[in-house]
Structure 1
Amino acid sequence: MQAYEFINNLIPPLKLSDKTGMALAWMEEIRTDTLPVVDKGVFLGMLREEMIFDLNNADILISDVMLDGQTCWVYGDKHIYDVLKVSSEQDSNIVGVLGREQEYLGVVTMEDAISAFAESLSIQSQGSVLVLSLYMTDYSLSEISRIVESENTKVLSSFISSDPLDSAKIKLTLKLDQPELRHIKATLERFGYKILDHYQEESGISGEEDRIGNLLRFLDI
């Protein structure tokens, strides 16, 4: 799940000698609003669609444009989570990928990163989703897994997010391999865990809709 594995080779880097009009044409062709700018293998930053519109001149060289997103990159051996983190921090739908010698390797799109993120969380696997609320000091995945496994259920993946209402608490999202949650919920509550929400697999929903819905629930969108 390293960043270099998800480089999108269909997105070309711009050169300083390219013109903004050509950059805009490329953006329209590959349906993106951002392109990386590279000079002699060195990542310089990002050129965004709104920057071109603000200039209102298709003949301006990219060398004459003040770029942004100079820190919108990760090393190629970083986890896909780091790509998502940088994307969120930089508000960019693409993130540059560099080698350890600072050489430009390519970019990862958010579409590809989210797809990889979903795969890492076993979202496409059948089962159910359970959301717990607990203090960080009480968090022990091994203990929670032991309780879940006592009900003949496996934890396929887990995801922690902060609780916006209490900084001392976390929300723990669990992907389980069983669609039935009644006994698991009762057992967790008996051990003092608070159940915030749950999502059980329903019949009649297409596989694609189900995967998208589960992903949004995992991301808490």
Structure 2
Amino acid sequence: MQAYEFINNLIPPLKLTDQAKMALAWMEEIRTDLLPVVDKGKFLGFLSDEIIFDLNDPEKFLEKIPLNSYNCWVYTDQHVYDILKISAEHHSNMVAVLDREMTYLGVVTMEDAISAFADSLSIQSQGSVLVLSMNMSDYSLAEIARLTETENTKILSSFISNDPLDDSKIKLTLKLDQPELRYIKATLERFGYKILDHYQEEAGISSEEDRIGNLLRFLDI
């Protein structure tokens, strides 16, 4: 799950000696609105079609055009989680990947990163999603797993975030391997766990749109 595994080799880097019109042509060809700019192996930032349209000078060389998100990069051995974090911080659909000598290696697109993240969280597996609220001091995944297993259900993955209803608590999102939640909910509530929400999924998820939709529901975005 390291960044180098998800480099998209179909995204070409631009050079400072390229012109804006060529950048637009490449963007149109590969259907993107963003491309990385590299000089002598060093990542300089991203060029967007919006910047080019605002300049309204297709003959202009990239060395004369200001770039965005020059800090939007990760090291090659960083986790896919870091890619998503950097992407969110810079509001960018691409993140550059550099080695430890700061040499540019390529980019990871958010579509590829989300797909990898979805795989890591068992999003495609049939089952259900359960969202709990609790104090951090009360959090014990081992205890929660024990309770769910009494109902012949296993936790495939879990995710912790802040509880939007109470800043003093955390929100625990669980992906379970069973679609039926009635008895699991009753058991957890009996032991004092507060259930915020739940999603019961259906089998046959195959499209990328459904895959990403399930990830967003899992993260409650």
Q: TM-score of the superposition, structure 2-length normalised?
A: 0.95
The Cα offsets for residues 65-95 of structure 1, whole Å up to 9 and x where unpaired, read as 1112110000111110110111100000000
The Cα offsets for residues 4-34 of structure 1, whole Å up to 9 and x where unpaired, read as 1000000000001000110011111111111
Unmatched 5+ residue regions in structure 2?
Answer: none
Q: Is the 8 A contact 2:127 2:202 kept in 1?
A: no
The alignment yields a C-alpha RMSD, in angstroms, of: 1.5
Closer/same/farther in 2, CA of residues 34 and 207 from structure 1, 3 Å limit: closer
2:73 paired with 1:61: no
- C-alpha displacement of 1:185: 0.7
Distance (whole Å) between structure 2 residues aligned to residue 96 and residue 131 of structure 1: 33
- C-alpha displacement of 1:219: 2.5
Distance (whole Å) between structure 1 residues aligned to residue 18 and residue 213 of structure 2: 41
- C-alpha displacement of 1:140: 1.5
- C-alpha displacement of 1:210: 5.2
* 1:116 corresponding residue in structure 2: 116
SS at match of 2:197: strand
Unmatched 5+ residue regions in structure 1?
Answer: none
- C-alpha displacement of 1:142: 1.5
Deviates more, 1:208-217 or 1:173-182: 208-217
- C-alpha displacement of 1:113: 0.6
Distance (whole Å) between structure 1 residues aligned to residue 27 and residue 176 of structure 2: 40
* 2:45 corresponding residue in structure 1: 45
* 1:137 corresponding residue in structure 2: 137
Distance (whole Å) between structure 2 residues aligned to residue 20 and residue 123 of structure 1: 40
Distance (whole Å) between structure 1 residues aligned to residue 66 and residue 206 of structure 2: 45
Distance (whole Å) between structure 2 residues aligned to residue 206 and residue 101 of structure 1: 41
The residue identity in structure 2 corresponding to 1:191 is F
Q: Is the 8 A contact 2:45 2:69 kept in 1?
A: yes
Closer/same/farther in 2, CA of residues 201 and 68 from structure 1, 3 Å limit: closer
Matches within 5 A, 1:59-208: 59-202=59-202, 207-208=206-207
The residue identity in structure 2 corresponding to 1:127 is G
Deviates more, 1:136-145 or 1:189-198: 136-145
Closer/same/farther in 2, CA of residues 53 and 217 from structure 1, 3 Å limit: same
Distance (whole Å) between structure 1 residues aligned to residue 24 and residue 40 of structure 2: 22
- C-alpha displacement of 1:206: 5.4
- C-alpha displacement of 1:200: 1.4
SS at match of 2:167: coil
- C-alpha displacement of 1:212: 4.3
Deviates more, 1:138-147 or 1:95-104: 138-147
Q: Which ranges of 4 or more aligned residues in structure 1 deviate by more than 4 Å?
A: none
The residue identity in structure 1 corresponding to 2:33 is D
The residue identity in structure 1 corresponding to 2:72 is C
Q: TM-score of the superposition, structure 1-length normalised?
A: 0.95
Distance (whole Å) between structure 1 residues aligned to residue 187 and residue 90 of structure 2: 42
SS at match of 1:192: coil
Distance (whole Å) between structure 2 residues aligned to residue 201 and residue 163 of structure 1: 23
- C-alpha displacement of 1:165: 2.9
SS at match of 2:8: coil
* 2:8 corresponding residue in structure 1: 8
The Cα offsets for residues 190-213 of structure 1, whole Å up to 9 and x where unpaired, read as 11001111111347x754375344
Closer/same/farther in 2, CA of residues 89 and 167 from structure 1, 3 Å limit: same
Distance (whole Å) between structure 1 residues aligned to residue 206 and residue 106 of structure 2: 32
